[in-house]
Chains A and B, each alone.
Chain A
Amino acid sequence: MDPEFFDRVILEAIGEEIAARDFYQQAARQMKDPGVAEIFEQLSRDENHHRQTLETFRFNPLARVEFVRALDYQVSEQEAEPPFSFNLSPREALQLAMKKEEKAAAMYRSLAEACRDPEISRIYLELAEMERGHKVRLEELFVNAAYPECW
C-alpha cells in the first residue's frame, strides 16, 4: 500500500468528520427547539470524537484500521430524509443525522469498489463500517424517540 495514498484517504475521512462536526455545531446554533439543539451539539461532539479516532490511525502506523461490525437493522434505509429547517423536531433531527451517516457509509463503499489497491479498498470498507456503526447508534436513538405512544 502506498503510504502517501493511505494518508490521503485518512485525511479525506478526517475532513468529512470535521465537516460533519461543523455542520452540527452550526445547526445547533440555529435550532429553535433547545432539545434539538442539544441533540445536534451531542452529534457535533460525536463527530469530533470520530475525527480523533481517525487521527489515531493516521499518526500510529502500528494501528490497524478496523471497526466493530454493528448489527444493522436498516432503519435509516426505510426513512425519508427530512429537509433541513430551523424547526426540526427531535425525531427529524435524528432522521437527518442517520441519513447523513447512511450516505457516508455508501460513499466509502463506492470508493472501495472503485479502488484497485486491495489494501486501500479494505480501508474504505472499514471506513464504511465506521459510518455504519454511527448510523446504527443513531438508529437506536431514533427508535427510542420516534414512536410516541401519546394522544
Chain B
Amino acid sequence: MTNSIGELEDAKVLFVIGSNTTEAHPVISYYMKRAVRNGAILIVCDPRRIDLVRWATIHVQHRVGTDVALLNGLMNEILKNGWEDREFIEAHTENFAKLQDVVREYPLERASELTGVPAGQLREVARILGTRKPASLCYTLGITEHTCGTDNVTTCANLQMLLGNLGMRSAGVNPLRGQNNVQGACDMGALPNVFPNYQAVSDPKARDKFARGWSVAGLPETPGKRMPGMFSSMLHGGTRALICHGENVVMSEPNVAHTVRCLEAVDFLVVLDIFENETTPYADVIFPCTCWSEQDGTFTNSERRVQRVRAAVRPPGECREPWWIYNELAGRLGVDLKFESARGVWEEMRSLATGYAGISWERIEAQGIQWPAPTLQHPGTPFLHAGGNFTRGRGMFVPAQWRPPAEVPDGDYPLVLTTGRRLWHYHTGTQTRNCAGFDALFGEELVEISPQDASELGTRDGDYVWVVSRRGRVRMRAWVTDRSPRGVVWSCFHFREANINVVTNNAFDPISDTAEYKACAVRIEPCAQPSPEFASAAGLKGASDGS
C-alpha cells in the first residue's frame, strides 16, 4: 500500500475495485465502514453484489474483465470536465499526452457498452472522484488475477495520478495483500528477480553487496523463473527440483490436472508445511514446519508495517522453524548461513537492506514500524511519495487499452466463472480445513448462480451440479443467489472435495505471470447421481483418504 490502513477512515472517497474486502480483509473493511460513518463516499466496483455493497453509496457492477474500460471511461469523463489535477500532473508526472490519447477512445457511451454500467452512473462516479479529495483507491486480486492484470494495476495508478491522489494522507493506490506476510515475503526477496528490499539481481552493485554480505561468489546475474515458467518447464526436464514452502500448489494453482502433471514430472519435490495436504503426497521429502504461534520472527502487513511475532507454545513433534530448516539445508549443501535465531535473520536483513536498517528488534517490541525507516532515529513512513516524489523522478502514466480475458463465453461454455475467497475459510484450507469449527460454519463448497441462470438451467438452490470447463469438471451444490449477476457463476478453492481450480484457466499475465483466476468460460450441467469426490475425479494421489 502507498498509504496506511488507518488513513482509510479519513478519506473523502473510497474507491474499492476488485476487492471483496469484508470477506477477504475483514479488519481493513472496518476502517472502510468507519470512513462511511465519517461521511466518506464509498464506491464499490465489483461484478458481484458483495457484502461491502451494503455500505456503498454506489455499486458499479461492471462485467468481469472490463476494469480497464471502466477506469479509462472514468478518466475520459474526468478530463472532459476538467476535473483532473493539472498542477500535480504538470509538476510530478510525464506521458500525460499519451494517456489523453488513449482515454479519448473511451467516451462514456463506449465504456458503458463494454462494461455494462449505465453511462449515467459512470458520469456520477467520475464527478465524485473529480470533485472530492482525498480519494483512496483499494484493490485486491480482482484487479491482478487477469491476463491483463498489469494493465489493470497501471490503469488504477493512472487514475490516481490524474486526480493528484498520491503522496498525501488518506489517498493512494492501495493493493490489499492476500496473506498476513505476503508483503514481508516479497520484501525479503522471495521473488525471482530481486534480493531483499527489491534490489535487482541484474544490478552489479547489489550483487556485489549481497555476495559480500553472504560470503558467497557467483550470484546469478539474471532473474529466475516465476511459478508458471517453473512448472511448465518441469514437463520438459527444465526444472528438476522444487521446494514448496507453505504453498499447497495442487489446490491453489489453476488447472489442477496441469499442476499434477508437472509435480509428477519433477525429479525431486520438497514440501515445507504445517500439515499434510493435497501437495504432500507428491513430495519426496516433507519438512514439518512451525506455525504462527510456535515461532519467533516478524510479519510485514499490507501497510508495510513490520511487526514482531513470538512463540507462544512449543511446536509439536519434529516441527522446526523455517529459518532453522533452511540453515540446516544450506549447511548440507556446503554453505553456512550462520543463523542461530529468527533475530539473526532479521539483523542480516537490516544490514543489507537500508530501507529496513532503522527497524531494530527493540524498536518493534511494542509497536510495528512502517518501512522505509532507514535509520534508528527515523519514525517510519506512513505514506509514500510525499510531495509527489516518485522513485523514478516523475510518475509515468502508462495507459492501457482494454482487452478481453483469454477465454470468453461461447455456445459450449456460455457462462463466466470468477473465483474468490470466503470469510470462513482460508486459501487452500491447509489451516482452516483442519479446524472442525470452521467446517461447522461453512462445511461445503458451493457455486453461486444467479436466479435467472438457475431458472433457465432448471437448477434449484442446493442441487448438485457439474461446473465444466475445457480443463475439467467439478461437482458442487448450487447456491442460487443474486450476489452473482446473470451470466456469471462464482466459487472458491478452499475445499479439496470441490476445488474450483480443476476448471480455472492456466492463462497468465505476460508481465506478472499471474493466472487468470477471475475469468474463464464454463457451463453448468445437472448432476443427478452421487459423483466421485474431487480427489478421485481429478486423479490426485491420496484420493481415497477423503479430507
Contacts and interface: CB of A to CB of B under 8 A. Distances in A.
Given A73-B375, A75-B374, A140-B386, A148 B193 contact: no
B481 interface: no
A149 B370 CA distance: 13
A70 interface: no
Report which residue of A74, A143, A146 has the largest number of chain B beta carbons within 10 angstroms of its beta carbon: A143
A78 B357 contact: yes
A15 interface: no
Contacts of B378: 73, 75, 143
A36 B387 contact: no
Interface stretch (B130-138, B246-254, B389-397): B389-397
B193 A145 contact: no
Contacts of A73: 358, 374-375, 377-379
Interface in A55-90: 72-75, 77-79, 90
Interface string B348-384: 0000001101100000000000011011011101001
A33 B393 contact: yes
A91 B191 contact: no
B391 A148 contact: yes
Interface of B: 94, 167, 186-187, 191, 193-194, 197-198, 304, 354-355, 357-358, 371-372, 374-375, 377-379, 381, 384-387, 389-394
A35 interface: yes
Interface string A107-151: 000000000000000000000000000000000110111111111
The interface residues of chain B, by DSSP majority, are classed as loop
A144 B386 contact: yes
A147 B389 contact: no
A38 interface: yes
A145 B375 contact: no
A75 B379 CA distance: 12
Contact of A78 (B371, B372, B375): B375
Give the 3 A-B CB pairs with smallest separation, nearest first: A35-B393, A147-B355, A148-B391
A151 B201 CA distance: 10
A11 interface: no
B389 A78 contact: no
26 contacts: A34-B393, A36-B393, A38-B393, A39-B393, A72-B377, A73-B374, A73-B375, A73-B379, A75-B374, A90-B392, A90-B393, A140-B386, A140-B387, A144-B167, A145-B389, A145-B390, A145-B391, A145-B393, A146-B372, A147-B197, A147-B198, A147-B354, A147-B355, A148-B198, A149-B198, A151-B191
A150 to B, nearest CB: 6
Given A35-B393, A38-B394, A140-B386, A150 B375 contact: no
Contact of B387 (A38, A75, A90, A144): A144
A38 to B, nearest CB: 6
Given A74-B375, A90-B392, A146 B193 contact: no
Given A78-B374, A140-B386, A144-B385, A151 B392 contact: no
Most chain B C-beta atoms within 10 Å of own C-beta, residue among A38, A74, A77, A147 = A147
B370 to A, nearest CB: 11
A72 B379 CA distance: 11
Contacts of A75: 374-375, 378
A75 B377 CA distance: 9
Interface string A11-34: 000000000000000000000011
B196 to A, nearest CB: 12
A91 B198 CA distance: 14
A108 B358 CA distance: 28
Given A36-B393, A149-B304, A150-B198, 4 more contacts: A143-B378, A144-B384, A145-B389, A146-B355
Contacts of A143: 372, 374, 378, 381
Nearest to A75: B374
A135 to B, nearest CB: 13
Contacts of B197: 147
Given A78-B357, A151-B191, A151-B193, A144 B389 contact: yes
Contacts of A146: 354-355, 372, 374, 391
A87 to B, nearest CB: 13
Contacts of A140: 386-387
Contacts of A38: 393-394
Contacts of A141: 387, 389
A75 B386 CA distance: 17
Which of B167, B372, B375 is packed against the most chain A CB atoms within 10 Å?
B375
B394 A151 contact: no
Contacts of B379: 73
B394 A35 contact: yes
A151 B194 contact: yes
A35 B355 contact: no
Contacts of B194: 151
A130 to B, nearest CB: 20
Contacts of A91: 391
A77 B371 CA distance: 18
A74 B167 CA distance: 22
A91 B392 CA distance: 8
A90 B391 contact: yes
A6 B326 CA distance: 64
A140 to B, nearest CB: 7
B169 to A, nearest CB: 14
A35 B193 CA distance: 25
Nearest to B393: A35
A47 B211 CA distance: 39
A40 B535 CA distance: 63
Contacts of A34: 393
